[in-house]
């Protein structure tokens, strides 16, 4: 699947969240990681760092979830960065009553950030070097924002809290211990062909962002391979199946290709004049697809629809089994 199609779909998902006033998610585009991997491991420089342009005007640290698409070896996978500002919970807290560190964290909330590698073809992408480069990036981004007096940010406010209290600002290090990474491939829905990796990438993001859980925690120590997904939205996710093999079906994911084609067709209709011959061909195809909107199980179901459909199917099977 081409990067342009994935970027367009990601942008639509992002706009959908923003329309619902949900600012907890940040989406890097498909070229970010490649550029990051090519960057030398040195401190940011205001004059020559291309990395700063990716988050210009956006403080990523109040975000709860950051999506980093990975493309390499004709395969797509995803890194999900959870709660980056929780890094401060691992450090000496400033002697002040309030801090701006994104959404207030409950005592049962995340005590540290976490990275998850979501891969539909286990073993294709090695997450270890990707985790390492992202740790370096987050550390550089934190230091740069902490010392940038021109923009308000979580790192800057955190630093000022120490200065106001006359306390030395501790060094922030996004080490493996402070920011662990977990490979999730063994517990997620997997593709059984060589072409649907991009569709699985988008399904992971669609279903996770719709669930919008309160937080995600590693379910153990530093070498944990499991996670706790806390309080997902009940209309969009089942707590017992989210981020498991039963999260969504391969069949539903395969139908996403047609869904994306219709999405792009609808956008194209908005740019074509009605007298253009292509307009009527595209319009006819879109109308034909729209007729399927009430035929569940034959088209791609978004997370809320999918959960309702699956719940109904499970209930029917239970009733049949009872007879």
Active-site annotation holds for 197: yes
Rounded to an integer, what distance in angstroms lies between the CA atom of residue 190 and that of residue 188?
A: 6
Please identify which of the residues 25, 197, 212, 259 carries the catalytic annotation: 197
Quick check: helix, strand or coil at residue 23? coil
Active-site annotation holds for 280: no
In angstroms, the Cα distances linking 82 to 79, 165, 167, 198 are 10, 29, 28, 21
- Residue 75 · residue 18 · CB < 8 Å: no
Please identify which of the residues 64, 119, 206, 212 carries the catalytic annotation: 119
Rounded to an integer, what distance in angstroms lies between the CA atom of residue 323 and that of residue 319?
A: 7
Active-site annotation holds for 119: yes
Quick check: helix, strand or coil at residue 161? helix
Return the CA Rg of the chain.
22
Rounded to an integer, what distance in angstroms lies between the CA atom of residue 86 and that of residue 103?
A: 10
The size of the chain, in residues, is 323
As annotated, the active-site residues are: 75, 119, 197
């Amino acid at each position: 699947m081409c990067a342009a199609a994935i970027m367009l779909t990601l942008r639509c998902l992002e706009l959908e969240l923003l329309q619902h006033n949900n600012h907890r998610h940040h989406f890097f585009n498909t070229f970010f990681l490649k550029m990051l991997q090519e960057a030398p491991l040195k401190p940011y420089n205001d004059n020559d760092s291309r990395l700063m342009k990716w988050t210009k005007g956006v403080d990523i640290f109040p975000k709860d979830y950051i999506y980093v698409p990975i493309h390499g070896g004709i395969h797509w996978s995803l890194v999900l960065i959870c709660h980056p500002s929780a890094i401060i919970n691992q450090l000496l807290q400033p002697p002040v009553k309030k801090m701006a560190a994104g959404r207030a964290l409950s005592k049962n909330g995340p005590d540290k950030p976490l990275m998850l590698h979501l891969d539909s073809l286990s073993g294709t992408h090695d997450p270890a070097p990707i985790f390492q480069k992202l740790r370096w990036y987050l550390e550089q981004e934190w230091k740069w924002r902490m010392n940038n007096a021109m923009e308000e940010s979580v790192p800057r406010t955190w630093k000022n809290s120490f200065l106001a209290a006359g306390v030395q600002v501790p060094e922030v290090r996004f080490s493996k211990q402070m920011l662990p990474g977990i490979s999730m491939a063994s517990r997620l829905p997997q593709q059984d062909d060589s072409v649907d990796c991009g569709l699985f990438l988008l399904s992971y993001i669609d279903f996770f962002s719709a669930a919008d859980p309160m937080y995600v925690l590693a379910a153990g120590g530093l070498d944990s391979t499991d996670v706790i997904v806390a309080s997902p939205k009940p209309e969009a996710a089942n707590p017992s199946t989210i981020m498991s093999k039963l999260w969504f079906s391969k069949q539903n994911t395969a139908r996403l290709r047609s869904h994306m084609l219709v999405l792009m067709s609808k956008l194209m209709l908005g740019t074509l004049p009605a007298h253009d011959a292509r307009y009527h061909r595209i319009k006819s195809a879109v109308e034909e697809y729209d007729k399927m909107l009430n035929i569940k199980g034959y088209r791609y179901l978004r997370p809320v629809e999918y959960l309702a459909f699956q719940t109904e199917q499970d209930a029917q099977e239970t009733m049949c089994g009872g007879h």
